[in-house]
Amino acid sequence: MHAVIFVHSPLPALKEVALAIFQTLRLDIFEERESFNYPPESRYFIAYAANASLKVCGSDDDRFHHPYWVILGPLVLDGSSQVSIPVDIPILAEALAARGLEIFVPSKGWSKFDWNGSGDTYGRLVG
């Protein structure tokens, strides 16, 4: 399991966005990590659910007006929470949109150079 969704938030900082997302999903086991693989800030936040992991990082992709990525990943056994999260992407997107976030779920092939920009949007930011 590995899926990426894009997030636009009224919150101004990566840490605030990550905490809001984790709080929305009731995830209480998380940490901040450093990695040059996660530009532009060289850091990300990861939470550990009972059934998956969830990373939140900044986007360095200028094709979107969504400055954050949420990456749904596999279960991490050490230190996992007892809380499960939706692993069905539309259900996860709807849960985050209910928090007031704008979510864009790109169609398959979004990382390819010739991707057509299609996908589904959930929620709308006010203002």
Q: What is the CATH number of domain 3-112?
A: 3.30.310
**Domain ranges in the chain?**
3-112
pLDDT at 114: 83
pLDDT at 118: 86
pLDDT at 113: 82
Q: Which residue has the tokens 């900044």?
A: 58
Measured between alpha carbons, how far is 122 from 100 in angstroms, rounded to an integer? 10
pLDDT at 127: 47
pLDDT tens column, 45-67: 999 999 999 999 998 877 778 89
pLDDT at 1: 58
**Positions of the chain with pLDDT under 50:** 126-127
Contact 9, 20 (CB under 8 A): yes
114 sits in the region (left: phi over 0; alpha: psi -120 to 50; else beta) called alpha
Which residues is 3 bridged to in the sheet? 72
